[in-house]
Structure 1
Amino acid sequence: MFQVTLWIELLAAGLGGLQGALFAAGEKHRRIDVLGVIVIGLAVSLGGSLLRDIVLNQPPVVIWMNWYLVVAAGSAILGMLVQPVLARADWLITGLDAVVMGVFGAIGASKALSLGVGPAGALVVGIIGAIGGGMLRDVILNLPISFLQVGTLYAVAAGAGAGTLIVLAAFGTPIMIAGVVCVVVTTLMRLTAIRFGWRFPEQGPVRRPRSRVR
Structure 2
Amino acid sequence: MSEILDLAGIFVFALSGALMGVRKRLDVVGMGVLAGMTALGGGVVRDLILNVRPIAFQSLGYVLVPVVATVIVFFWHPHVARVMPAILVLDAAGLGLFCAVGTEKALEYGLNPLHAALLGVVTAVGGGMLRDVLAGEIPTLLYDRQLYAVPAMLGSACMAGLYAGLGLHGWPATLAAAVLAFVLRIAAMRRNWRAPLARGLSE
TM-score (norm 1): 0.80
Deviation at 1:17, TM superposition (A): 1.9
Which of 124, 149, 153 is the matching residue for 1:130?
Answer: 124
Identity %: 32
Paired residues for 1:170-185 under 5 Å: 170=164, 171-185=166-180
Deviation at 1:152, TM superposition (A): 2.3
Larger C-alpha radius of gyration, 1 or 2?
A: 1
**2:161 is the counterpart of 1:167:** yes
User: Partner residue of 1:16?
Assistant: 13
1:37 is matched with 31
Query: How large is the RMSD of aligned CA atoms in angstroms?
Result: 2.5
Query: Is the 8 Å Cα contact of residues 104 and 116 (structure 2) preserved in structure 1?
Result: yes
**For each residue in 1:169-206, what CA deviation from the matched residue of structure 2 results, as whole angstroms up to 9, or x when unmatched?**
34243421222222222122122223323233312579
2:44 is the alignment partner of 1:50 = yes
Distance apart, 1:150 and its partner CA: 4.8
Q: Indicate conservation of the 8 Å contact 2:9/2:91, yes or no.
A: no
1:76 alignment partner in structure 2? 70
Q: Is the 8 A contact 1:99 1:187 kept in 2?
A: yes
Number of the residue aligned with 2:184: 189
CA distance in 1, matches of 2:84, 2:126: 21
- Asked whether the 8 Å contact 1:161–1:186 carries over to 2, the reply is yes
Shift of 1:86: 3.3
- 2: CA distance between counterparts of 1:85 and 1:128? 30
Q: Structure 2 vs 1, CA of residues 179 and 76 (structure 1 numbering), >3 Å: closer, same or farther?
A: farther
Q: State how many pairs are aligned.
A: 200
The CA distance in 2 between the partners of 1:131 and 1:193, in whole Å, is: 16
Structure 1 residue ranges (4+ consecutive) displaced by more than 6 angstroms after TM superposition: none
TM-score, normalization: structure 2? 0.84
Change (3 A) 1:9 1:197: closer
The gaps in structure 1 that reach 5 residues or longer are 207-214
The Cα shift of 1:48 comes to: 0.7
Gaps of 5+ in 2: none
Provide the C-alpha distance between the structure 1 equivalents of 2:5 and 2:50, rounded to a whole number of angstroms: 19
Q: 1:98 maps to what in 2?
A: 92
